[in-house]
Chain A
Amino acid sequence: MDIQFKQVSYTYQPHTPFAYQAIRNINLSISSGEYIAIVGHTGSGKSTLLQHINGLLLPTDGEVQIGEYILSSNNKRQDLRKLREKVGIVFQYPEHQLFEETVEKDISFGPHNFGIPKDEISKRVLSSIEKVELQTNFLEKSPFELSGGQMRRVAIAGVLAMEPEVLILDEPTAGLDPKGQIDIMKMFYQLHQSKQMTTILVTHQMDHALKYADRIIVLANGEVYMEGNPEEIFSKTNQLQEVNLDVPEILTLIQDFNQRFNGTIRYQRQSIAELAKEIVEHFRENKRL
């Protein structure tokens, strides 16, 4: 499903002294199967933007088009359930949405609401708990006796079980341990690749954006500040600094290295270990000369 934002603005609590325009004049298009990262300082409107994609918020101005759905301020009454089945959102701190007696019931909750048949649901529950790397014996436990990280995984499994076409991730790894972060990000990437799932990731971790995204959208003060592939975006160091964003360490390292040792290393999504090998290689070659 292609997603298009046409001059979208959104104001919270309009016509009151508390009115606040969180995003303004957003134009975006996201094609089916893309992996997009949205970055921006806290309060720049990322979460607000995301909530337009499944109709939780309707634009106060402009329109959002998702597949055949058109959302704008003047079409309030339409059944959004079909849309929400196709667009799964993992919210910031999704563990707060758990409520069922058992993990299994909680993961089934979404598919059940969308009318998926029972035997299909149990298949999905099993496959999604596997994806988030929890053992199947967790299924019988109460979600409230789990640790924070485990609860997060259960909540993510609950969204994956909906098998959405578009997966929206609002800081899915905030507060997880480093290894857990890497595992979960890898899992999302595999899903994206194997199922051609359109993935939209909001993150404060620039190295995640660099590593996984096809395209990065930078928001600042509710507007699109920059847009482009990771190499382009992260080469504009000064512009990024202006909106309080950092360049991933690995890029700074490569840049400094090339400058200092006359290197020609290019960033190609390599891991730290691979980069180390390239550096060793570089010194070897230079010695020979």
Chain B
Amino acid sequence: MKSFMIIGQFVPGTSSLHKLDPRTKMVTIFSFVIIVFFANNVLSYGWLALFSLALILLSKIRIPYILKGITPVWFLIIFTFILHLFITREGPVLLEISTFKIYEGGVIRGLTISLRFLLLVLVTSLLTLTTSPMEITDAIEELFAPLKKIKVPVHELALMMSISLRFIPTLLEETEKISKAQASRGVDFRTGTLKDRMYAIVPLLVPLFISAFKRAEELAMAMEARGYNGSEGRTKLRELKLTNIDYIAILLYVIINIIFFTLRQ
């Protein structure tokens, strides 16, 4: 299970993508998400695809790992493609199989929409692959800091987020441990009717919830014991700071976008 999903997983490394300030990565990637929707011809799509490929190469993460890791998304992408292939009726007919007609417009739309989808997933998963959860929450807290003026509890929200992210691997580990223990006592999670399998989850969920609540309680006590009382007057251990590599990245990104907008029609 673990080896299949890489979405949201962080792969530590020292590539230049890893070294970028998380704020730079987040701002550029979220603007990229919007920009993808502006592509409207082969050249502009090609340019964005090239840009995404360059990012993957820069991250130094092995391409097969990324492609395999987004397996669940592949199904969606292929499904979208097929859906558009059959539904769109524009342009000349390319192929006729008994009552089904495939139009040129369908192929084009299917391709562009799936490509768009693929680019979005690839680039956003690059964000989480190269940025530790801690950095992401730090960046969110910084980026949303202005909202503190209108009494949004930005610090507390960021803290909640980082705690949840911190405990995801722990919970997964715990799930694995408990399911192994119960499997040893004869629970079968894999076979049987749907009803059987739903019952098989109870011995897994109960211990999991209990330990999660216990952990939360202990964590709260430990934080209080160490004098935590919210954001008031709190200084930071890790200060985010833009460096030269960030300025270069931003500059490159702007240039790439200028080229993009001249390429599109």
Contacts and interface: CB of A to CB of B under 8 A. Distances in A.
A99 interface: yes
6 contacts: A15-B3, A81-B188, A84-B184, A91-B177, A98-B207, A112-B186
Interface in B68-125: 68
Given A89-B181, A114-B186, 17 more contacts: A13-B2, A15-B3, A16-B65, A17-B61, A56-B183, A84-B183, A84-B186, A87-B184, A91-B184, A96-B174, A96-B178, A96-B207, A99-B202, A110-B185, A113-B187, A144-B210, A162-B186
A109 B185 contact: yes
Interface in A69-99: 81, 84-85, 87-89, 91, 94, 96-99
Interface of A: 13-18, 51, 54, 56, 81, 84-85, 87-89, 91, 94, 96-99, 109-110, 112-114, 144, 158-159, 162
Contacts of A88: 184
A113 B180 contact: no
Contacts of A113: 185-187
Contacts of B174: 96
B198 interface: no
B199 to A, nearest CB: 11
Interface of B: 2-3, 11, 61-62, 65, 68, 174, 177-178, 180-188, 202-203, 206-207, 210-211
Given A81-B186, A158-B185, A56 B180 contact: yes
Given A51-B180, A91-B177, A99-B202, A13 B185 contact: no
A159 B185 contact: yes
B181 A91 contact: yes
A159 B184 CA distance: 9
B202 to A, nearest CB: 7
Nearest to B61: A17
Given A16-B65, A17-B62, A17-B65, A96 B177 contact: yes
